Structure 1
């Protein structure tokens, strides 16, 4: 007999304002415990020392994680100019230094080369897999690897502040799979002064904002109490990136079983991806064809 999974059937999103010095997986585990949830996951890893938006999905909301992961996200970060580290952030060892310092105008000009479709090489200390093993594990053993460049869409990269000659504060808005540490490293190379990330904060991710984030202290305070459910946001927030159609009473069961079902739609094109609701509750995600939704993801609520 299969073991019964422990925990509550609870569904929704929690926006955590992640503090430094904790991994993203550790945050998810704490949230899962606090809510006594059967299932939990997050929409995009933050480095342990990074802060800001870590969107945690509970229950059926985990099925909407890809829509948040694929959405644009924004980071505010400080680059330490004049130094390169082996991790491309302040946690690593300084491996090279430079006395060169660019002007504000030189920085702004260089930022233009990082906008649009770019190719980005992940940091040596990253979760990229090399022959089935994480790159950071090999890097810890002193191995230097040639990591393949990966495509990244950068919506914008702007300078917010220049506190002094050694530091510059930037804001990056990018798509899925971006490494802020790589941006700092590559910008330093382009400017001829080297660089690494000193501080990093994710200010928003898709529909979720850091200003709406819940602290870990608050989660701990309300852990396993009735009040903690008030912190949850509806799971359909993650579906705002696509049009909504209405499932008919007769089609709900068909859709939940993964079969095409009739929907009421306005302004939706043939083949367009959309999500179906019934009485305000998400039912399925799929493609609209000839008055029907052909589901590829269903929700059991």
Structure 2
């Protein structure tokens, strides 16, 4: 007999302002412990040294994680110009240096090449799997890591400030799978000066913003208290980027059993991913087809 998971059946989203240091998994585990929750997950990894928005789902909200993971995200980051590292950030060993320093105008002129639909090669020190092994495991073992370029959509990439000749602050809004470290590396190469990330902060992701965030210290201070429960955002927050389709009473009952259910017409298009609600609560996510939602995920009532 399978062992039952310990903890509470509690559902919702908590937005944490992740500090530098802990891994994203460590933050999720801390939040799960603080809520005594059965299940928890996050919508997009941040490197240990990165800070900012980490959206954590509890319980039934974990079923909405893919829709936040696929959404656009924004990052503010600082590039150190004049040096590359083997990790593409400040933690790695310097692999090349240059005395060349681009002007602000040269930086701005180079940015359009990194926007729109581009191909990006993830860093050697990344969680990308190569024949079943994580790339960072192979890289740390001294093996040569060859990773194929992957498609990435970058909505915008802007120069925010030139802090000094050696440092530039930028903001990127991109889709799923983007590596800011790779942008810094490739931009430095394009400018002929090399470059790597020294600070990185995620400011928003899909429907979530840092204005909604709590600190990890707050999570620890309020652990196992009703005050912490009050900070949870509804499960439905993770579905904010999808059309909402109110279901009929009969439709909601059918959907909860995993069957197509009748929904009230909305602006959703045929074949579009949407979610059905009944009396204000999410019932299911699925594909809209001619007055019905065909569920792919059903939420417990």
Which TM-score band applies after superposition, normalised by the shorter structure? over 0.9
| Distance in structure 2 (CA, Å) of the matches to 1:268 and 1:202 | 30
- Indicate yes or no: 2:296 matched with 1:296: yes
Structure-2-length-normalised TM-score: 0.99
| Deviating more after overlay: 112-121 vs 243-252 | 243-252
Match of 1:284 in 2: 284
Match of 2:152 in 1: 152
How far off its partner does 1:226 sit? 1.6
Match of 1:250 in 2: 250
Match of 1:272 in 2: 272
- Structure 2 unmatched ranges of 5 or more: none
Match of 1:141 in 2: 141
Counterpart of 2:230 in 1: which secondary structure?
helix
- What do the CA deviations read for 1:42-90 (whole angstroms, capped 9, x no partner)? 0000000000000000000000000000000000000000010110000
| Distance in structure 2 (CA, Å) of the matches to 1:207 and 1:98 | 41
- What do the CA deviations read for 1:16-65 (whole angstroms, capped 9, x no partner)? 00000110000000000000000000000000000000000000000000
How far off its partner does 1:2 sit? 2.6
How far off its partner does 1:211 sit? 2.4
Counterpart of 1:193 in 2: which secondary structure?
coil
How far off its partner does 1:244 sit? 0.7
| Distance in structure 2 (CA, Å) of the matches to 1:62 and 1:182 | 29
Match of 1:122 in 2: 122
| Distance in structure 2 (CA, Å) of the matches to 1:127 and 1:26 | 16
| Distance in structure 2 (CA, Å) of the matches to 1:212 and 1:267 | 29
| Distance in structure 1 (CA, Å) of the matches to 2:271 and 2:291 | 11
Structure-1-length-normalised TM-score: 0.99
Match of 2:13 in 1: 13
| Distance in structure 1 (CA, Å) of the matches to 2:158 and 2:50 | 19
How far off its partner does 1:235 sit? 1.1
RMSD over aligned CA atoms reads 0.8
| Distance in structure 1 (CA, Å) of the matches to 2:267 and 2:210 | 33
Matches within 5 A, 1:50-199: 50-199=50-199
| Distance in structure 2 (CA, Å) of the matches to 1:51 and 1:33 | 21
The number of equivalent residue pairs is 301
Q: Point out 4+ residue stretches in structure 1 off by more than 3 angstroms.
A: none
